[in-house]
Amino acid sequence: MSDAALSMDRMYRRQRYIYDATRKFYLLGRDGAIAALSPRPGEAVLEIGCGTGRNLIAVARRFPQAQVFGLDVSNEMLTSARVAIRRAGLENRIHVAQGDATDFDPTTLFARADFDRVLISYALSMIPPWRAALAHALDALRPGGALEIVDFGDQAGLPRVFRSVLRRWLAAFEVTPRDDLREELGALARARPLRFLTAAPFGGYAIRATVLKP
């Protein structure tokens, strides 16, 4: 098992039972990112770092004609995701598999080469080689597709004391806001044909990005 899988399984072995009930208060902006996916009927949506499957279920319900896929490095999280998907009666529409964001092979995991929409929600901040994960997500996106990202932002619009308390608290959960996400998207867009938009909702508590692959 890889270091990332061991680390995330350790992190979530017990937390996964209270994950959805607690995270709804502070993983802000997830539903906006899901709404922005807006796949056309029959299109395929992949969430990278899907955790308990909360977003996958929301995508499947909101876009009933989409095909929905999720991968996560943690088998503990995937156990929770599979239970939730079964309870929601969506096991025929949502497919999940274990994989690492930096090197997964979509053909091996899901028998398809790419996806029309990709979502990364509060996962880049937990992936140390996040730049590699971002580049790999773009590789998994079909031309004409869109990648939606939501994560912790730089909190630039929030009081300094709030920012420093939040950063310390996040660090305890091995979460590092990617303050240079915009710069990294800019670098990627110079190296390949991409367009992107970013926003800093909730006073910069979160960052949202939409990346379009022509």
Ligand X SMILES: C[S@@+](CC[C@H](N)C(=O)[O-])C[C@H]1O[C@@H](n2cnc3c(N)ncnc32)[C@H](O)[C@@H]1O
- 54 counts as binding ligand X under rule CB under 6 A: yes
Exactly one of 51, 106, 145, 177 binds ligand X (CB under 6 A); that residue is 51
CA–CA dist 174, 127 (Å, integer) = 9
* CA–CA separation, 87 and 103 (whole Å): 30
Pick from 110, 121, 154, 196: which binds ligand X (CB under 6 A)? 121
Residues 208/28, Cβ–Cβ less than 8 Å: no
How many Å apart are CA 69 and CA 84, to the nearest integer? Answer: 14
Give CA–CA dist 27/32, Å, rounded. Answer: 11
Tokens at 181, concatenated = 């996400």
- Sheet order of strands, 94-98 included: 94-98, 67-72, 44-48, 115-121, 141-152, 206-212, 195-199
- The least CB distance from residue 214 to ligand X, in Å, is 26
Structure tokens at 141: 């996106």
Q: What is the closest distance, in whole angstroms, from the C-beta atom of residue 183 to ligand X in the complex?
A: 21
Of all residues in this chain, which one has the CB nearest to ligand X in the complex?
Answer: 51
Nearest distance, CB of residue 98 and ligand X, angstroms: 9
Asked whether position 122 contacts ligand X by CB under 6 A, the answer is yes
Identify the three-state secondary structure at position 89: coil
Q: Which stretch binds ligand X (CB under 6 A): 117-125, 139-147, 182-190, 204-212?
A: 117-125
Binding-site member from 45, 72, 95, 152 for ligand X (CB under 6 A): 72
Q: Six-digit token pair at 132?
A: 């590699």
Among 29, 39, 46, 49, binds ligand X (CB under 6 A): 49
Minimum Å distance from CB 45 to ligand X? Answer: 13
Residue 57 is a binding residue for ligand X (CB under 6 A): no
Determine, following the binding rule CB under 6 A, whether residue 50 of this chain makes contact with ligand X.
yes
Residues at the contact surface with ligand X, assessed by CB under 6 A: 4, 8, 23, 27, 30, 49-51, 54-55, 72-74, 77, 100-102, 121-123, 126-127
